[in-house]
A = this chain, B = another copy of it.
């Protein structure tokens, strides 16, 4: 537990003020004082500092409520910037956000080479570009990095990347050598969840679908990592007594029913088809009412719903947010899924449950990573 000191006392109040200005946008000093139950004099002093730092600005005069018109405060959009990077299986996505989390620049680069060196070089170049585009690159407050697989965010290690096979890589040290702002490394799904936290959600599970199925668990606006940073690894949940053998060696894993690859291969088996077929082809067939695709997709939905229902029973979250592949087919897939989930779950956990798709689309990982940086800045950890 943090100690009590003058520095911390001030930091807390300043952080609370900044967060309030961020959340409310256009709030007066008097209102801040009232909401946070601190004196107006204190607000005046702390806001003065925030303005000097270039993080806050006076914008407009608000409506009078019977006396002097209030001066409204807002975040200064160009007060700070953050960079977010997602290392996807076959692409690198990067964004530059301003202090209001508007996307200033974004890039998506297709990668056909899995080498760590290649990923590193491309990323370094993009970071350099972003630095150049800003008049004052010292305003960059950090870089967030999302990578699939098992990541140790404290040490900044990528521990295990199933699709790259790099082994342990100390990404943080490599970046820290070149850049002297704070660097956040985390699993891609957790970065996406950080994006949802930024959007104001505070108690939810974020499930990413596609080649793998992974979740981030968020309680009280904090990501729950687990003892070995492995919390939320839903892909190998046993949700059937048997089923096809999973590549992990066991039977009945969720991924062997509902990952992109297993859906495709199940479908191809049913069709005795050697030609390579894409997921969107299956979805077109599914929509047309074709029998085989219906079998495969309904199975995937059934077991995915069962897995989600299990998570709901255990955690009773406020919301379930689905991102990735399935989120691209909301009407086609998810409406069915929502129904199944409700059938499978206890009333107690369905009550007031919000099931929805991710706020951001294909840039979710990169934007989330950059917003993770902003979030930490607002918590004033540095």
Chain A residues engaging chain B, CB cutoff 8 angstroms: 1-6, 8-13, 15-16, 19, 36-38, 150, 203, 215, 217, 219, 224-234, 236-238, 240-241, 248, 306, 309-311, 313-318, 344, 346, 348-349, 351-353
Q: Is the CB of B203 within 8 A of A316?
A: no
Q: Is the CB of A238 within 8 A of B3?
A: no
Extra pairs beyond A226-B316, A238-B306, A310-B310 (19, CB < 8 Å): A1-B19, A3-B38, A4-B8, A4-B10, A4-B11, A9-B9, A203-B227, A215-B314, A217-B315, A227-B316, A228-B349, A228-B351, A229-B316, A231-B315, A231-B316, A233-B314, A233-B346, A234-B314, A237-B314
* Other-chain residue from B9, B224, B230, B348 in contact with A346 (beta carbon distance below 8 A): B230
CB neighbours (8 Å) of A229 from chain B are 316
Closest to A39 in B: B5
CB neighbours (8 Å) of A10 from chain B are 4
Q: Is the CB of A233 within 8 A of B348?
A: yes
CB neighbours (8 Å) of A316 from chain B are 225-231, 233
* Other-chain residue from B12, B225, B231, B233 in contact with A4 (beta carbon distance below 8 A): B12
CB neighbours (8 Å) of A306 from chain B are 238
Q: Is the CB of A232 within 8 A of B9?
A: no
Q: Is the CB of B38 within 8 A of A313?
A: no
* Other-chain residue from B314, B344, B353 in contact with A314 (beta carbon distance below 8 A): B314
Report the Cα distance A19→B2, complex, angstroms. 13
Q: Is the CB of B237 within 8 A of A313?
A: yes
Report the Cα distance A140→B280, complex, angstroms. 67
CB neighbours (8 Å) of A8 from chain B are 4, 9
Q: Is the CB of B313 within 8 A of A314?
A: no
A-B CB contact pairs (8 Å), 24 listed: A2-B12, A3-B16, A3-B36, A3-B38, A4-B10, A4-B12, A217-B314, A224-B315, A226-B317, A227-B353, A228-B348, A228-B351, A230-B316, A232-B314, A233-B313, A233-B349, A234-B314, A237-B313, A237-B314, A238-B306, A238-B310, A238-B344, A240-B241, A311-B314
CB neighbours (8 Å) of A310 from chain B are 237-238, 310, 314
Q: Is the CB of B13 within 8 A of A9?
A: no
Report the Cα distance A224→B228, complex, angstroms. 19
Report the Cα distance A206→B173, complex, angstroms. 38
- Which of A10, A232, A317, A349 has most chain B Cβ within 10 Å? A349
